[in-house]
Amino acid sequence: MSRSAIRVGLTLLMIFALSWRALADDFTLTGRVVDANGQAVTGAKVSVEGSAFANTDGSGKFQLQLSKKITKIKEVRVLKANMRVENFDYQTDANSLTITMMPAPHFFQGQVLDQGSNPLAGVPVAIEGVSLVSTTDFRGFFAITLPSNLRVSKSTKFKISDAEIGPDKITVNEKYNFVLIAGLPVPGQAKAAPAPVAETTSVAVPPAGMVNVTVYDDAYAPLAGITFVVDGKTYVTNAKGQFVIGTEAVDVSKFSATGYLIATFDFDSAGNYVFIVVRSEGEAPTGPPVREPLDSLVLDYRGDFYEVINQLELRKQELAEKGDKIRQQMELIATKLGTSSANLKPQQRQNLTNYLKNLEDALIANDLAYEQAAEKSQTIVQKLKSTILEKDQTIEEVEEKRQANLRLLYIIAGVALLGLALAFAYSRIAKKIARQKQEIERQHKDLQQAYNQIKIISNTGQKITATLDFRNLVATVNQNLMNLIDSTVFGVGVVNEADQKIEFLDFIENGQKQTYHSEQMDDKRRFSVWSIKNQKEVIINDLATEWKKYLSVPNYTVPAEMPQSLIYLPLLREQRAIGVVTVQSNRKHAYSEMDVKILQALASYIAIALDNSNAYEIIKRRNKDITDSIRYAQTIQDAILPAPRLMQEILGENFVIFRPRDLVSGDFYWLNRVTPMSPMYNEEAALASAQAGERVYFALVDCTGHGVPGGFMSLVANHLLSEIVEIKRIQDPAQILEMLDLRVREALKQYEKVNDDGMDIALCQMARLMDDQGRPTGQTRIVFAGARRSLYYYQRSQTKLEVLKGDRASVGGLQRKTVAFTNHEITLQAGDTFYVLSDGMADQNNAERQKFSTRRLRDLLEANAELSLAKQKELLDTALDQHLQGTQQRDDITIIGVKL
């Protein structure tokens, strides 16, 4: 068999194999989504192993196109409002997937009142079908986690202290997920409700349900001591900025604040508190207060910015010729910034950053268009080169022909009879050849001159368009222009629309820069004004006789010192004159048609460069404004972090390594203290924790992303943590994470939209233990719950670093199977140390792309655990700096150590 036959066979075999593989990799997965009762779930979005989402039809069925066949499914995501994935079953042989959904879990709240409409504190509350039992606080409030399929209604059976409550004593508000149980006898064994630290209102608790009102300033800091009149009744905010009213009074028209204006008024989806933002009456009014959802506390400017970005995207193919659109869009954003720069939020700054990137892309598109023009000029140059070479070849051919004729004439001259005839013929031929040679040489010279001029214009144009500074632009043009045309005077004027004048910043005469001068746009005696207003060239070779072509003014006198020949060309961008360029000569008839074309070519480059220079200056100014705004965002984020003095007061000896990757960080740490005198203190929980005193809540949170997006997420998480512990009064760490997971998904609408944002968190509840006489024992009980974050602790008695691992589930993110967070409890002695950290340091790579690693970090903590915390921080900082070796930080880095 020949080699060619073998090659053909191998080629056919390869084509067959590739075709077979392409067909084999094309895989369709079918499936169905149902609820716990087997009923179809319609309108849900389904994704498997990171694929694109597919919608379920009326029968709950869906189809997914995958790149290859799969034998085992690890990740299933389903987006459906108020539902979560319970489990899924994949039949490999049938390529069929069945997904079972369950309702999303929720929290239910209520209040218990006695026959005198006074709150009953410390009484157990149970609901039929729910295993958990809740206990009322000093205001009679309670909260219970309900199964996902249970909704409380009028027919739900309640038990108070094991006594079933009749439906006549129960009022259910299904809209706000709230129940009022009133008219109960006071149990003989019930403890008296402790009085609150400071009375927040002068009005008795209304019998029809309670609502907690929280008042903030425009920086979202609680305001204490503010007097409110609500529906004719007077209230004063406590140290937390709170007071209590009846549910029937929740109406913005019934609220007024002494000395303040109400800017924002809202109540949360659970119906248990009202959120108010006030401003001092001395500040400029912002309009009447509006009802807006708490999930959008940060003002959303994205609509404006996205409109601008979409317009640029639709016009990106035109940017090469429409550079002035960049300035128009910048002026639009400048207007927005000028009216609202004081209220910028992190999300706004991110939008500005994205928008700036689009503008930079637009300028790059312009540059590419200019480069294409330069390339076209180079193409013409190459064509001219080819023509010159062809002419040179023609001259050589003519010369060879002349030599041949000479040889022929020498031969003919030898013939006497034909001598005179041949001499006459030679004379005529020689003259004709001489004329042809002279014409060809002239054409060659003209072509060579044109080639040199085009080369100079091309090089000058490239230099001009690469110049962003106006004065350098003028100097560059002038240096090259003198090699092309007579330019005793040269200048570039820029139109100042605001002052209606033409400004000549650098006017050059005889190679010397002249002082600044301007010409008014209404001056009819100026050739520059005529050229700009008519958008036409002014070409004059004898000023004394030709000025009348352009100026229609009486008594015009030509100054003796004025040049005799001059050209004015308008600089046009998008049918709009942005300036004018002029060359002038003291000689009459100094400029030819070729000179005008040369200047026209340069004028196009000058207009582009001038446009770029203006855009560059605007971008520099806007970039500085954006950077300053982000630095202010850093100041705001620093303000929400616990102060070092407060960390020292509550936690004792500690160290904090906090290194954001950008100016603002997606990492943050949070601290809250619940004392026996605090309104949210649960006395029964305190008695059940071995005579524990105050409880301290401490968390380290690693939000999705970094920079402005991460900083925005950190603000949301900080607000939700404070809301859950201080307002909803949930104090169990695992329940706090479950509520935080639910609130993040609600806030980011992750039950309805594709949104993978979330956070990892390490949360500790700390309690200093007391003996029977109320004296500290030196022991600290820590209850820890983690979402993909762990707690490391070092016991001096064991000389070993131990770890409490968090659950393998994040807070927030796309739908997944229901995961209950777990509490871990340890008791540490005085002198023991514990650590919480984000994954930034462990994941940081060095110049060789090697990660620092969790193992190395853990070994470093264990080896230095006996040292002071200040020394431990120094060693960690040094190890991190040596590992980086100049490598850019890839993520936010936070490490916190606490010695008990």
Is residue 641 very low, low, confident or very high in pLDDT (cuts 50, 70, 90)?
very high
In the predicted model, is pLDDT for residue 544 greater than 80? yes
For the cut 80, the answer to whether the pLDDT of residue 113 exceeds it is yes
Contact 369, 363 (CB under 8 A): no
As a whole number of angstroms, the distance between CA 406 and CA 411 comes to: 9
* Residue 823, pLDDT above cutoff 90: yes
Has residue 650 got a pLDDT over 80? yes
pLDDT of residue 350: 57
What pLDDT shows up at residue 511? 66
**Quick check: 301 pLDDT over 60?**
no
Q: What percent of the chain has pLDDT over 70?
A: 70
Query: Which own/partner contact pairs does 277-281 have at CB distance under 8 Å and 24+ positions apart?
Result: 277/216, 277/217, 277/218, 277/220, 278/215, 278/216, 278/217, 278/218, 278/223, 278/226, 279/217, 279/218
530 or 266, higher pLDDT: 530
**Looking at the DSSP assignment, which residues form a beta bridge with residue 135?**
124
Confidence of residue 366 (pLDDT cuts 50, 70, 90): low
Mean pLDDT score across all residues of the chain: 77
Q: How confident is the model at residue 468 (pLDDT cuts 50, 70, 90)?
A: low
Average pLDDT, integer, range 719-733: 91
pLDDT band at residue 734 under the 50/70/90 scheme: very high
The model's pLDDT over 674-710, given as tens digits with 9 standing for 90+, comes to 875 455 445 444 444 444 568 899 999 999 877 788 8
Which range of 343-347, 487-491, 574-578, 724-728 scores highest in mean pLDDT? It is 724-728
Cα separation of 354 and 427, whole Å? 80
**Predicted pLDDT at 630:** 80
Express each pLDDT in 235-252 by its tens digit: 999 988 888 888 777 777
Which carries the bigger pLDDT value, residue 419 or residue 356?
419
753-769 tens-digit pLDDT:
777 889 999 999 999 99
State yes or no: pLDDT of 348 exceeds 90: no
| For the chain, counts of helices (H) and of strands (E) | 16, 41
pLDDT at position 800 over 70? yes
The Cα 97–Cα 48 span in angstroms is 10
- Give Cβ neighbours of residue 846 (< 8 Å, ≥ 6 apart): 852, 883, 884, 885, 887
Query: 524 or 858: which carries more pLDDT confidence?
Result: 858
Pairing between β-strand 290-291 and β-strand 260-267 as defined by DSSP bridges: parallel
For residue 641, give every residue at least 6 positions away whose Cβ sits within 8 Å of its Cβ, in sequence order, or none.
658, 668, 669
What pLDDT shows up at residue 368? 56
Q: H or E segment at 108?
A: strand 106-114
Angle, helices 593-640 vs 346-413, to 10°: value is 160
Among the listed ranges 210-219, 400-409, 866-875, which one has the minimum average pLDDT value? Answer: 400-409
Q: Detail the DSSP E strand segments found in 485-596.
A: 489-496, 501-509, 512-514, 517-520, 538-540, 565-573, 576-585
Contact, 858 vs 837, CB < 8 A? no
User: pLDDT exceeding 90 applies to what percent of the chain?
Assistant: 25
For 583, counting Cβ atoms within 10 Å of its Cβ (0-12 exposed, 13-18 middle, 19+ buried), the class is buried
Give me the mean pLDDT over the 768-794 stretch: 92
Q: Rounded mean pLDDT of 56-62?
A: 94
Pick from 702, 712, 703, 682: nearest CA to 694: 682
Query: Cβ distance 592 to 581 under 8 Å?
Result: no
pLDDT at 22: 42
Helix, strand or coil, per DSSP, at residue 393: helix
Closest CA to 235 of 263, 276, 269: 276
Q: What is the pLDDT of residues 493-513, one digit of tens each?
A: 888 888 899 988 767 776 677
Give the range with max mean pLDDT: 138-142, 258-262, 342-346, 677-681: 258-262
How much is the pLDDT for 52?
83
Nearest partner of 727 among 28, 107, 34, judged by Cα: 107
Residue with tokens 């060809």: 440
Kindly give the residue spans of alpha helices, DSSP state H, lying in 641-758: 644-651, 683-687, 707-722, 733-747
Bridge partners (DSSP) listed for residue 584: 489, 566
**CA–CA separation, 200 vs 241, rounded Å?**
9
Q: How many CB atoms lie within 10 A of CB 298?
A: 13
Q: Which residues contact 571 (CB under 8 A, 6 or more apart)?
A: 492, 577, 578, 579, 580, 581, 603, 606, 607, 610
Model confidence band, residue 372 (pLDDT cutoffs 50, 70, 90): low
Band of the pLDDT at 470, cuts 50, 70, 90? Answer: low
Please, which residues have CB within 8 angstroms of residue 299's CB and are 6 or more apart in sequence?
343, 345, 348
Q: Is residue 161 within 8 Å of residue 124, measured between CB atoms?
A: yes
* Tens-digit pLDDT profile for residues 666-683: 899 999 988 754 554 454
Q: Which amino acid is at 849?
A: R
CA pair distance 677, 194, nearest whole angstrom? 9
The per-residue pLDDT for 333 is 54
d(CA 844, CA 827): 33
Nearest alpha-carbon partner for 184 in 232, 123, 241, 230: 123
The dihedral sign for the CA sequence 430, 435, 440, 442: positive
Which residue would you say has higher pLDDT here, 37 or 13?
37
Distance CA 216, CA 200 (A): 15
